[in-house]
Amino acid sequence: MSSIRFALSERVGAHHFALYRAWINGIDLSEAGLRYIDERDPRKVRSAVEGLRIRFIQAAHRANLPRYARLLSARLKTSAQDPRGELQQSETSPGKESLDLQAFAEEIDPEGFYSESELIKLYEERVRPTADGDTLARQRRRARWIAQQKEALFWIERFLVSRPLPEDPLPAWFEGSAVQRLQRSGVTTLADLKAFIERHGKTWYAHIDGVGSTTAERIVQWLQEHAGELGELSDTAIAGRLQVSRAGLPSVAQRIVGQRDAQTKLTQGSGAHAPLGRDETYAPAPASCLIRASDDLQAMQAWIEARAGSPHTARVYRREAERFLLFLAQEKSIDLHSLKVQDINDYKTFLALLGRVDAKGWPFRLPQEQYCAPRNIPRADPRWRPFEGPLSAKSAQYALVVVGAFLGFLTDVRYLAANPIAGVNIKLAGQDMRNPVKGLSRGQFDLVREHVMQLPDDHAGARARFLLELAYSSAARLSELAQTSFADLSLVRREDEAGHYVMLALHGKGGKIRNVYLGEAVLRAWREYAQHRGLNTVMTALKGQALPMLATLDDGAPIGAAMIYRIVKEIFEGASRLAAQRGLYDDAAEIAACSPHDLRHCRARHLGQGKVALAVLQRMLGHASPATTSIYVTNSDLEMAQALANAE
């Protein structure tokens, strides 16, 4: 059976720096090698470490960092009795004899308050009764050497580390016979590999002679670890089509009911299930159906694969479709082929009442508690439920919109003869149809900017300031912000004067890419943030480099959407406190309620008030329809109130 290893020859990644740091800190070579480069033989790991050291020294020279080249070249001397001298020390783990000092530092100074010299002095005072002068001197030399090595690695990593790109060839990241076998099957790049796995599902390796399940599992794990650069694998690719389309929903439905119920068409006990609506009383899918689906679950999966342009959209589509199918199974005991207009109206009522009425006012079979549970409970957990609680009017209407899209697709491909939702008014009763103004006012946004400027002048503060300006200027969605990279920068030449406009390509819904303009405020904020990251302060100088714009504070890895959300929410909460301190309590409440998406609304609102053309605004926001964009440029209640107040 073929094997695969992570390549060292072509690219140096973050895992190689982790290996080198492990060696410096005295971690066993076999353990470190197995963990970071999948190599157990200590001799081969030692050779890899020495190869890395040479490459790091070369990189320091190329980056014009001679001091770090010298630090990396320096080797510790061992005792005079050691005939192999420096070489022996370099081949063993240099940090082992200094572990006591490191443990001492972690024990008394976890926050890094003391300087190196102060720490050594405190350490000497503790160990003086049991350690001679030579031992202390050796401890001091090695502690200093380790600190210098880590400092050098910190800066070299910013210059040398590479992150995988979809167009990278397989040998840039993998070695072993499996690479040749993949290449012979036409899989030559990382993008090819990901597409091949998506196309064939969990057992994709069965289509490649000589590639086994263990190798395939390691490849998939590596792709998942680099989802930020290469994109997430779908549930189908990870769990397999059968598990996603058939095992997921019935097991969820069984957990909701908790007991056998003949009306649900689900069988209990053995874990098997009868497909919803597939007994003799229900009509089969038409012979002219354009998708391969023998039941509603497979039809749902076909819709998600055909229409969801991103992993996030796929998750949303699956959530809403599963909720709808669960409702039909639990409350109506029907499948999609028996669906009528009245059933959709009942689901509309179900969404409007869930979590908002007492038991007496609940008209459905299962109690409300059987449908709701706190978020973040795994789907495999018996406590999992499809809802977290009552839906807002906007969320309930969105759920019906997604269901309509689901049923519309099934009608288009002839799985259904007609779309019942066409006969339903999906607007919920009592819904506020006025034209609300979305996003913060200019005055409120000025408060947010004022607060973020008051944050400390450290790495985290600089990142927060840059994130705010980037999110506002680009009007990017949360998922788009998480993917921003300097590789997506471009320049557009000015017509009226010398110079260029800075543009950023955003990877939006459905794989669509659009260019947005980055204002001067973004470039200013970057100059401060870049200093903390050790990068060029001229943003355009990094154009074309595969570096994340938003990175972690420690290793420079890209931060995800969850981290971005948390940072922005903290900014809004701080700005809300600032507004409250000034007696602006209404503004404080509105700012506190904002999410990162409101920065997008905020930018669109301000541009619309600035009379930016509808077509320009639509293109910037990436809206498919101008009707979606028109809310930012049409006359709002605010404009009406301003006009009438000025007329008095």
State the Rg of the chain over Cα: 30
The amino acid at 19? L
* Whether 611 is catalytic: no
- Burial environment of residue 458 by CB neighbours within 10 A (0 to 12, 13 to 18, 19 or more): exposed
* Whether 600 is catalytic: yes
**Closest-CA residue to 146 (of 111, 119, 107):** 119
**Closest-CA residue to 487 (of 542, 417, 405):** 542
Which residues are registered as beta bridge partners of 502? 491, 518
Q: Are strands 174-175 and 5-6 parallel, antiparallel or unpaired?
A: antiparallel
* Whether 337 is catalytic: no
Long-range CB contacts (< 8 A, 24+ apart) of 432-438? 432/393, 434/637, 435/631, 435/634, 435/635, 435/636, 435/637, 436/636, 436/637, 437/605, 437/636, 437/637, 437/638, 438/598, 438/601, 438/604, 438/605, 438/631, 438/632
**Closest-CA residue to 175 (of 4, 2, 33, 1):** 4
Q: How far apart are CA 101 and CA 147, in angstroms?
A: 12
Q: How far apart are CA 521 and CA 504, in angstroms?
A: 14
- Residue 318 burial (CB count, 10 A): 20
Long-range CB contacts (< 8 A, 24+ apart) of 279-282? 282/334, 282/335, 282/337, 282/338
- Per the residue annotation, which of 75, 509, 543, 569 is the catalytic one? 509
- Per the residue annotation, which of 11, 312, 597, 619 is the catalytic one? 597
**Closest-CA residue to 604 (of 472, 446, 449):** 472
- Per the residue annotation, which of 273, 533, 601, 623 is the catalytic one? 623
- Per the residue annotation, which of 337, 477, 533, 606 is the catalytic one? 477
Angle, helices 561-581/585-592, rounded to nearest 10 degrees: 170
* Whether 96 is catalytic: no
CA atoms within 13 A on the CB side of 154: 11
Q: How far apart are CA 255 and CA 387, in angstroms?
A: 14
* Whether 632 is catalytic: yes
- CA dist 418 → 69, 171, 340, 501, 508 (Å): 71, 51, 10, 50, 32
* Whether 507 is catalytic: no
Which residues are registered as beta bridge partners of 593? none
Give 5's DSSP letter.
Answer: E
Q: How far apart are CA 326 and CA 332, in angstroms?
A: 9
The two tokens of residue 218 are 């390691």
Q: What are phi and psi of 173, to 5 degrees?
A: -130, -20
Q: How far apart are CA 280 and CA 260, in angstroms?
A: 20
- Per the residue annotation, which of 142, 385, 600, 603 is the catalytic one? 600
Residue 514, helix vs strand vs coil? strand
Q: Chain centroid to CA 75: how far?
A: 40
Q: How far apart are CA 391 and CA 352, in angstroms?
A: 7
CA atoms within 13 A on the CB side of 407: 25
Q: Do residues 335 and 350 make contact, with C-beta atoms less than 8 angstroms apart?
A: no
Q: Do residues 131 and 41 make contact, with C-beta atoms less than 8 angstroms apart?
A: no
**Closest-CA residue to 452 (of 524, 504, 517, 518):** 524
Q: Do residues 60 and 152 make contact, with C-beta atoms less than 8 angstroms apart?
A: yes
Residue 187 zone, left/alpha/beta (φ > 0; ψ -120 to 50; rest): beta
- The residues that are catalytic are 477, 509, 597, 600, 623, 632
